[in-house]
Structure formats: structure tokens, C-alpha cells
Amino acid sequence: MPVALDESMGQWVDVPGGRVWRVEVAAGNAFTARLHLKGIDLPAGQEIRLSNPGQENSVVGPIEGTGEFGDGTAWGLAMATNRTMIEWFVPEGTRVRGLPFAGLEYYHGYRDI
């Protein structure tokens, strides 16, 4: 399912060396969840991580540039939870002008397999 997302929906947190923008995407009663980013184009020094909060070994990243495959896409892991998170690191002194990806899809399952 496509998700309409903009910078105002997340929260900026100061961290050593810069700031991290965090946003959680969830569906009420889902058993599983997975994120898919499209159109990734990160300037040098910026990184994205995808994860499922509260799930061990669920972090994908750091994602840099146009992603692992060089095609502007990245996939989070499919995990037994309804919660997913995007974290975008921006180094100190960097000015941002919108999100560094063009689209987001949230995949979720409602049947326990």
C-alpha cells in the first residue's frame, strides 16, 4: 500500500555529528510488516536505516547513495510485527529540502501463517 509521507510527519532528534529524522509506519492489527522505499537519492554523508521497533536483527542499512542495488530502491525485512521505522541521518550543517526518497510502500499481513 502506498504511503503519503512528508518531513512534517517525522521527528528530528539531535545525535552526535548531526540529526536523525524518525518516523514510524504501522497498521492496527497486522501480523507482519515490511517497508519498500523508491527513488532513493542520498547526498554524500546521509544514510537511511529501516527497522521494525522491538524486533531483534531487523535493521537494514546503512543505506547510502541510491541504495544497495544502485536503482534507488531498498526493502526492509518482513517481520512478525505491525510496526516499521525509517531513520534518516543528516550530518551537521546540512540543509535538507524534503525527503531523500520519492515513494514509500508499506506491506502488511493480516493472517497468521
DSSP secondary structure, 20-50, as one string:
EEEEEEE-TT-SEEEEEEES--PPTT-EEEE
pLDDT digits (tens, 9 = 90+) for 47-58: 999 999 988 899
Helices first, then strands: H and E counts in the chain: 0, 8
Burial of 104 (0-12, 13-18, 19+ CB in 10 A): buried
Mean pLDDT of the chain: 89
Q: What predicted TM-score, i.e. pTM, was given to this entire model?
A: 0.89
pLDDT over 90 at 82, yes or no: no
